[in-house]
Amino acid sequence: MSNPSMPLLLLLLFSHFMLMKIEAKSNVHIVYLGERQHDDPKLVIDSHHEMLAKTVGSKEEASKLMVYNYKHGFSGFAAKLTESQAQKLSETPGVVQVIPNSIFSLKTTRSWDFLGLYNLLYNSKLGEGSIIGLIDTGIWPESESFSDEGLGPVPSGWKGKGFNTSGTIEFFSPRDANGHGTHTSSTAAGAFVKNANYKGLGNGVARGGAPLARLAMYKVCWNVKGGQCAAADILKAFDEAIHDGVHVISVSIASEIPLLPEVDQHNAIATGSFHAVAKGIPVVCAAGNDGPTSQTVQNTAPWNLTVAASSTDRAFPTLITLGNNKTLTGQSTYIGKTIDFTGIVYLELDELYTASAEGKNEALLLNATLVAGKVVLVFPSAPLRVNLTRVKAIGVAGVLFARNPAYDFAHCTIDFACVEVNPEVASQILLYARSTRFPVVKVLPSSTFDSKLVSPKVAIFSARGPNSIAPEILKPDIAAPGVNILAATSPISPFSFNGFDVLSGTSMATPHVSGIVALLKLAHPDWSPAAIKSALVTTAWKNGPSGSPISAEGTPIKIADPFDFGGIVNPITSYIFQATYFKMLRDSRIENIDKPIISKPDCQVLTEKLYSNLCFFFNLYTSN
């Protein structure tokens, strides 16, 4: 096999120290200047240093304080400033906003067959010639999913630099320690990998949506508290991606609640994506994982394509038989031996735990005398951060979690019978356990089940509308597979199995759409980002393969509505769709809108008065 690092055209590293500083209340600020005033990046940089020098006293001091220059897609810089310096800069002519740095977070085989990508895939030559930019945690380039076998020359429009990862062991580099970026990258554009599986489950050929597309990874997220990403790094990634010539940008990142308006000074994704879309680069973003609560959808800027998560026609069922011969179904990745009939225990919260040797309530341990040799039923009222290694060590036979299986199995990945059952099934098990003196249960290992009878649903965790910032803009725009997605991961991830993992989240749904967008741009090079969005949203599935309406998980389960999703992405009909184009009208027409979604003053703040017509375009587009 030839060098697997070559498809990774750019592995761009952003400042780890910035996250470290943020945690220590850093004074990094983003000075946003809107559109560039010069075409020459050197002149743009010089103007930044000159502006900062006037504030801090000298060019030497300005150089020490400068962190980033945004010089390609838009103009601005990140610098370490005191509050008084930031205030002084904000009053400088030409400065649109001075933005305090902020933190964003990650929104963590079969799915492509489920979507039926074949016509578009082959008419687009498997994505050959396309470049997908991902803003994420990095990548593990040696994964089979990133083999360069069958790839042609680097596309001529590429302006970035390659990164040879041979011998790289330092993780202050684009290498992925988390696994999230590797997973999203292989979902969008992974090569064909035979016999891909997770502990024998889901065995088959893994691939991405555009297997011959190139990947440009912009590492902005670090393995801190599960994956955190600094706003200054995110803006730098957008700036470089615009310059490098990527064809689509995939962002499996979102802010935390409370949500931020598109023109809010903290909303780096909205600002960066605005400039990308204005230059013809579609931006695909995660909707967030705070569902099923309403008004939690994130990345709501109308120019973004915001992706919700759905299940597919695949499940990993685990059969559970009670002592009364009733068989129920859960889901897990357990592939060990059958647990023959053994006792089942449901413990109230105060019984489930006992204080540690030090007597600290926060150091909670399972009560071994009650649970050894038995299967334990755990309801959500008990914390899900049960230490499964400890549970296994004290002799517990298995754990049944009363938790919707739409979540991933992250806490159930050790070789141990850890099964997720929905609350209704758990209630049946509990009623049985309380109705007999010696309740017993049998647990079989998991299997893989693919069938059109498994109707897709909007995942319970997928963030919901209405859009809390601008209810007139329906969000999410589209849904895609994001539940139990098998894809490549970093081999040092604690949940890696032969370089693969099963993850769930709108993070996993986003690269499905990014891969499809890359193919659509190849098939229809004259389509704008708005035309691509129109084609995808207009043709999305509202019914599952069986013909029944797609439902949305929650309490109770219901038929999915426009606030749950925009339909499940349908690459077949979007490819042949005759996209509707919307004409950009003159700036003067903005005043004629009765209720613009984004006000003219706000648009001018975002774009420094240079893209007011584009703001009107999006108002017209979304209102229609």
426-453 pLDDT, tens digit per residue, is 999 999 999 998 999 999 988 877 666 6
pLDDT recorded at residue 158: 64
pLDDT recorded at residue 166: 46
CB 284 within 8 A of CB 515: no
CA distances from 368 to 299, 372, 399 (A): 46, 6, 14
Count Cβ atoms within 10 A of the Cβ of residue 236 and give its class: 0-12 exposed, 13-18 middle, 19 or more buried.
buried
Q: Which whole number is the average pLDDT over 86-103?
A: 89
pLDDT recorded at residue 17: 44
180 catalytic per annotation: yes
pLDDT recorded at residue 451: 64
**Residue 245: which pLDDT band, with cuts at 50, 70 and 90?**
very high
Q: Of these residues, 5, 111, 136, 186, which one is catalytic?
A: 136
Candidates 73, 5, 8; CA nearest to 219 is 8
Q: Which whole number is the average pLDDT over 240-251?
A: 95
pLDDT recorded at residue 623: 40
Q: Of these residues, 143, 507, 534, 551, which one is catalytic?
A: 507
C-alpha 381/C-alpha 403 separation (Å) is: 11
Say whether pLDDT at 551 is over 50. yes
Say whether pLDDT at 343 is over 60. yes
Where in the chain is CATH 3.40.50.200? Answer: 105-313+456-578
266 catalytic per annotation: no
Say whether pLDDT at 233 is over 60. yes
CA distances from 410 to 47, 63, 174, 504 (A): 48, 44, 24, 9
User: What residues pair up with 319 in beta bridges, in sequence order?
Assistant: 329
* Residue 90, φ and ψ in degrees, nearest 5: -65, -20
Q: What is the DSSP letter of 155?
A: P
**Residue 611: which pLDDT band, with cuts at 50, 70 and 90?**
very low
* Residue 546, φ and ψ in degrees, nearest 5: -80, -5
| Greater pLDDT, 217 or 365 | 217
pLDDT recorded at residue 517: 95
Mark out the alpha helices in 138-200 (DSSP H runs): 180-189
pLDDT recorded at residue 22: 43
| Greater pLDDT, 161 or 178 | 178
Say whether pLDDT at 325 is over 50. yes
Q: How many CB atoms lie within 10 A of CB 186?
A: 31
C-alpha 612/C-alpha 603 separation (Å) is: 6
| Greater pLDDT, 225 or 296 | 296
Count Cβ atoms within 10 A of the Cβ of residue 623 and give its class: 0-12 exposed, 13-18 middle, 19 or more buried.
middle
Token representation of residue 318: 């685990």
Percentage above 70 pLDDT, the chain: 71
pLDDT recorded at residue 297: 93
Q: Of these residues, 180, 183, 411, 512, which one is catalytic?
A: 180
pLDDT recorded at residue 31: 93
CB 510 within 8 A of CB 132: no
Q: Which whole number is the average pLDDT over 362-382?
A: 68
Report the topology of domain 105-313+456-578: Rossmann fold (3.40.50)
Q: Which whole number is the average pLDDT over 209-224?
A: 88
pLDDT recorded at residue 591: 38
Least confident of 177-191, 336-350, 410-424, 573-587: 573-587
C-alpha 607/C-alpha 271 separation (Å) is: 9
Say whether pLDDT at 409 is over 50. yes
pLDDT recorded at residue 254: 86
Say whether pLDDT at 522 is over 50. yes
CATH architecture of 27-100: 2-Layer Sandwich (3.30)
Least confident of 57-71, 103-117, 264-278, 601-615: 601-615
pLDDT recorded at residue 358: 42
CB 504 within 8 A of CB 408: yes
CB 602 within 8 A of CB 263: yes
Pairing assessment for the beta strands 558-559 and 305-310 based on DSSP bridges: unpaired
Q: Which whole number is the average pLDDT over 34-44?
A: 88
pLDDT recorded at residue 234: 93
pLDDT recorded at residue 585: 32
C-alpha 14/C-alpha 253 separation (Å) is: 15
Say whether pLDDT at 391 is over 60. yes
User: What residues pair up with 198 in beta bridges, in sequence order?
Assistant: 201
Where in the chain is CATH 3.50.30.30? Answer: 317-447
pLDDT recorded at residue 170: 35
Say whether pLDDT at 151 is over 70. no
CB 419 within 8 A of CB 334: yes
**Residue 370: which pLDDT band, with cuts at 50, 70 and 90?**
confident
Say whether pLDDT at 336 is over 60. yes
pLDDT recorded at residue 223: 77
Count Cβ atoms within 10 A of the Cβ of residue 308 and give its class: 0-12 exposed, 13-18 middle, 19 or more buried.
buried
528 catalytic per annotation: no
pLDDT recorded at residue 572: 80
Least confident of 276-290, 387-401, 485-499, 558-572: 387-401
The SS3 call for residue 253 is: strand
**Residue 589: which pLDDT band, with cuts at 50, 70 and 90?**
very low
Candidates 389, 395, 379; CA nearest to 411 is 389
pLDDT recorded at residue 150: 63
Least confident of 17-26, 366-375, 466-475, 598-607: 17-26
pLDDT recorded at residue 70: 93
Tell me the pLDDT of the chain averaged across its residues: 78
CA distances from 168 to 17, 123, 293, 538 (A): 20, 37, 43, 45
**Residue 88: which pLDDT band, with cuts at 50, 70 and 90?**
very high
Which amino acid, 299?
N
| Domain boundaries 317-447, corresponding CATH code | 3.50.30.30
Say whether pLDDT at 299 is over 60. yes
C-alpha 156/C-alpha 571 separation (Å) is: 27
Percentage above 90 pLDDT, the chain: 32
